[in-house]
Structure 1
Amino acid sequence: MKKLLDVQNLHVSFDTHAGEVKAVRGVNFHLDKGETLAIVGESGSGKSVTTKALMRLIPNPPGRIKEGKMLFEGRDLVKISEKEMEKLRGKDISMIFQDPMTSLNPTMTVGKQVMEPLIKHQKMNKEAARKRAVELLALVGLPNPEARIKQYPHQFSGGQRQRVVIAIALACNPKILIADEPTTALDVTIQAQILELMKELQKKIETSIIFITHDLGVVANVADRVAVMYGGQIVETGTVDEIFYDPRHPYTWGLLSSMPSLDTDEETELQAIPGTPPDLLNPPKGDAFALRSNYALKIDLEQEPPVYQVSPTHFVKSWLLHPDAPAFEPPVNVQQNLRPMPNNFDKPALFEEVR
């Protein structure tokens, strides 16, 4: 597969009165042409900051991209000028934000808002842009688009507004579509419709998608690959099957243990991850997840783990993958068909369990 986007060692910080918040710390990932990459993690893990950095929407001050590369078709988005970025933003890279009501201008008709990127980036005249806007609203499943194009955002339901936002994002057939928790504000029935719509549209326009979510149930339905994010870092990356059936990081185990399934009955207790996310004003010295993990080793409190390769597509940032680490069985309620980790009980002192 051809790499469309390649993010290398990305660091994003925010300067506050209390000090420097290191929101994103050395993130690496890539996006192939035509694939969907899901970035998952709890609130505050750095998911949205990472994708806003890709769009160069980090307000400066207080935010700044401290270090790293974001290579889009070979061009480093960190180094190009704002004028060059404006030509890419909305045309080649588009974004769907969480709340459709705050994404839309309440003083403009929906039609004008869909037409705007067509006039700016595609250089269409108003008549051609209006015709294309009607086609886009029909494409995203809005009934009677000819009439609705004249209406304002408050005249649409939440699900319909999200469809309008998707139509705006897709107006210029972007090469990358970033969806930042696009179904969070919607009820489950509308969520399913929007997710199905995005899958259909991806096939039609062959765009690549970065899908931001904290809902692993959503991930299983839409993603090809998954990046699990914690404490401003990506701790595990793999295909959907690898993340769901062979997870190796304790944080991924925690996320899966806290997710209900069709087999969950009223007597089954879902497992919560203890503690709170790390303070990124003063990031932990070793593994950011160590203080919340039941599988922490002494070395986790002293040294940051490297990234270990499990398969050609599966990478894990955890000392548990070190040859000298003890063997831990993942929680029983994660998945019943997980492969066991290799046994190795002759371990140096650094690889003794903390608890």
Structure 2
Amino acid sequence: MDKILEVKDLNISFHTFAGEVQAIRGVKFDLYKGETLAIVGESGSGKSVTTKAIMRLLPESNSEIKNGEIIFENKDITKLSNKEMQKIRGKDISMIFQDPMTSLNPTMKVGKQIIEPIVKHQKLSKASAKERAIDILKLVGIPNAEERFNQYPHQFSGGMRQRVVIAIALACNPKVLIADEPTTALDVTIQAQILELMKELQKKIDTSIIFITHDLGVVANVADRVAVMYGGKIVEVGTVDELFYNPQHPYTWGLISSMPDLDVEDEELYAIPGTPPNLLHPPKGDAFAPRNEYAMQIDLEEQPPMFKISDTHYAATWLLHPDAPKVEPPEAVKRRKRQFLEEGGKQS
């Protein structure tokens, strides 16, 4: 498969009154044409900061890309001027944000908001842009698109507003679509519809998707590959089957264990003990060590490298070192694996 995006050794800091927050520490991943890569982890793990860096949407006043490259079509996005980036943002790389009400301008009709990027990037006339916008509204499943074109955001339901946000993001047929928890603000039924819509649209326009979420149930439905983030680092990456069949990092075990299981009665919901690390003072060793019941002395002293499990599966945990003791994953993880196997792996 052809790579469309490469993130190499990315380090991002925020300068605050309290000091330097090292939010992203050596993040590295690839995105291939036509695939969906999910980035998962708790709040504060660095998911949104990483993707906002790809869009160059981090605040210039207090953020700094200290090291690393973001390669898109043989260009390093971190080195582009604002004017050069404006030609890419919205045209080649688009983003769907979490809350549609803060993404849409309440004083503008939705049609005009969809037309804007089309006129700017595709140089179409307003008449042609309107025709294209109505086609996109139909594509994302909004009924009576011609009538809805002239309505304001407050005249749409939450699910329909999110469809409008998706329509804006897709207006120029982007090569990369970043979805930052696009279903978090929606109820479960609408969430399922939006996820199904995104899968259908990906096939139709052949775009690559980076899907940010903290919900592993969503990951099983939409992703081809998964990158697990913790403490500003990627700690495990693999195909969705590998992450559910054979998770290797204790943090991934914790995330899987914390998923509610409707098949088990009176199950106490698991929570990962402790709190995420303070990135004002990043730990010397493995950032997850204080919360890891399987931690060894070396976890407190030295950061683990990425150990190779397969050609597509890597994890940064000292438990994979040849000299490490053999540790079995928790029973909740084994149970999830059995359920996943019974369901036939990744849902199509």
TM-score normalised by length of structure 2: 0.96
Counterpart in the other structure of 2:344: none
Counterpart in the other structure of 1:242: 242
Please tell me whether residue 283 in structure 1 is matched to residue 282 in structure 2: yes
* SS across alignment from 1:78: helix
Please tell me whether residue 50 in structure 1 is matched to residue 50 in structure 2: yes
Counterpart in the other structure of 2:325: 326
Kindly indicate whether the alpha-carbon contact (under 8 Å) linking 2:4 and 2:31 is maintained by their aligned counterparts in 1. yes
Kindly indicate whether the alpha-carbon contact (under 8 Å) linking 2:244 and 2:336 is maintained by their aligned counterparts in 1. no
Q: 1:334 is matched by which residue type in structure 2?
A: V
Counterpart in the other structure of 1:295: 294
- Give 4+ residue runs of structure 1 displaced > 4 Å after superposition: none
Q: 1:74 is matched by which residue type in structure 2?
A: N
Please tell me whether residue 216 in structure 1 is matched to residue 216 in structure 2: yes
- Report matched runs for 1:50-89 at 5 Å: 50-89=50-89
Q: Deviations over 1:212-236 (max 9, x none)?
A: 0000000000000000000000000
State the distance in 2 between where 1:181 and 1:48 align: 9
Counterpart in the other structure of 2:202: 202
Kindly indicate whether the alpha-carbon contact (under 8 Å) linking 1:320 and 1:326 is maintained by their aligned counterparts in 2. yes
Q: Deviations over 1:7-42 (max 9, x none)?
A: 000011100000000111000000000000000000
Displacement of 1:61 after TM fit?
Answer: 1.3
Counterpart in the other structure of 1:92: 92
Identity across the alignment (%): 72
Q: 2:175 is matched by which residue type in structure 1?
A: K
State the distance in 1 between where 2:289 and 2:72 align: 34
Counterpart in the other structure of 2:137: 137
Kindly indicate whether the alpha-carbon contact (under 8 Å) linking 1:5 and 1:73 is maintained by their aligned counterparts in 2. yes
State the distance in 1 between where 2:247 and 2:202 align: 27
Counterpart in the other structure of 2:259: 259
Specify which structure has the higher proportion of helix: 2
Equivalent residues, number: 338
Displacement of 1:147 after TM fit?
Answer: 0.5
Counterpart in the other structure of 1:352: none
Kindly indicate whether the alpha-carbon contact (under 8 Å) linking 2:285 and 2:302 is maintained by their aligned counterparts in 1. yes
State the distance in 2 between where 1:338 and 1:295 align: 20
Displacement of 1:337 after TM fit?
Answer: 8.1
Q: 1:188 is matched by which residue type in structure 2?
A: V
Q: Which runs of 5+ in 2 are unaligned?
A: 339-348
Counterpart in the other structure of 1:314: 313
Displacement of 1:312 after TM fit?
Answer: 0.1
Please tell me whether residue 150 in structure 1 is matched to residue 150 in structure 2: yes
Displacement of 1:262 after TM fit?
Answer: 3.9
Kindly indicate whether the alpha-carbon contact (under 8 Å) linking 1:27 and 1:233 is maintained by their aligned counterparts in 2. yes
Counterpart in the other structure of 1:4: 4
TM-score normalised by length of structure 1: 0.94
Q: Deviations over 1:163-211 (max 9, x none)?
A: 0000000000000000000000000000000000000000000000000
Displacement of 1:261 after TM fit?
Answer: 3.0
State the distance in 1 between where 2:262 and 2:203 align: 29
